[in-house]
Amino acid sequence: MPLMLLYLFKEVHVLPVQAKDQLLEEVEKCIVLLKGGELEVLIKECLKNGLPALEILNAMARGMEEVGKKYEAQEYFLSELIFSGEIFKKGMMLLEPYLKRESEGEAKSVVVVGTVMNDLHDIGKNIFVTLLTAAGFKVVDLGVDVPPEKFVEAVKENNAKIVGVSALLTSTAPGIRDIVKLLEKAGLRRKVKVIVGGAALTQEMARELGADAYAETAVKGVDICKKWVAESI
């Protein structure tokens, strides 16, 4: 590309599609190759060039998927999983201020969010929480390894209309059924929608476990919550 044109792109902070894709690929690679320092520099570069924070986040998530595959293939071990999680979290911290807040003022609705009992994965849940907050929801984040009773207590205390559960392990995902059953027992099931997500789940499993919705990505999950609010839950 002629130097003059490059200069112009730099000035107006608009990158040609090819350069944009290249930067995002580099972001993905940094996660896969566990290059935390480089990732931070790259994220800043992406933001400086006007790349949407959500696209950068998606590239990071693709990298995590690759890390998972490497773990499965025994190319990576637990230490690499832990390290990739730490790198992801640092990157996420840089992106958070840029995930645009859509609405100011009164919260749309209260959503109680947590990772199912005996599951310690929280990266996907944290993305869902960040995006929900940015979309104007009040979020009560219960963290990881959350017993079903805690979900129900939090719904009562906060008059929540939506419960979001994350599940990454196939062994513990059935714990979602316990949350749904306890909500029923407390007489809250008809007042509360349950949305689930995470790598351990599919649409079919979510239905079998008694959830109202399954979302493959946090973005889709937020869209479903918005739709529920628009339809008055």
Q: Which stretch binds ligand B12 (CB under 6 A): 26-34, 93-101, 180-188, 194-202?
A: 194-202
Is residue 195 near ligand B12 by the rule CB under 6 A?
A: yes
Q: Which of 95, 142, 200, 229 binds ligand B12 (CB under 6 A)?
A: 200
Number of residues binding to ligand B12, judged by CB under 6 A: 39
* Alpha-carbon gap, residue 104 to 101, rounded angstroms: 7
98-137 binders of ligand B12 (CB under 6 A): 118-125, 127-128
* Alpha-carbon gap, residue 33 to 29, rounded angstroms: 6
Cβ–Cβ contacts within 10 Å for residue 231, how many? 7
Is residue 65 near ligand B12 by the rule CB under 6 A?
A: yes
Is residue 82 near ligand B12 by the rule CB under 6 A?
A: yes
Which DSSP helix (H) or strand (E) runs through 123?
helix 123-134
User: 99-105 long-range CB contacts below 8 Å, 24 or more apart?
Assistant: 99/53, 99/54, 99/57, 99/130, 99/131, 99/134, 100/53, 100/134, 101/133, 101/134, 101/136, 102/134, 102/135, 102/136, 103/135, 103/136, 104/136, 105/136
Provide the mask over 1-40, with x wherever binding to ligand B12 is found by CB under 6 A and - wherever it is not: ----------------------------------------
Is residue 197 near ligand B12 by the rule CB under 6 A?
A: yes
CB of 37 to ligand B12, least distance (A): 19
Q: Which of 68, 136, 147, 210 binds ligand B12 (CB under 6 A)?
A: 68
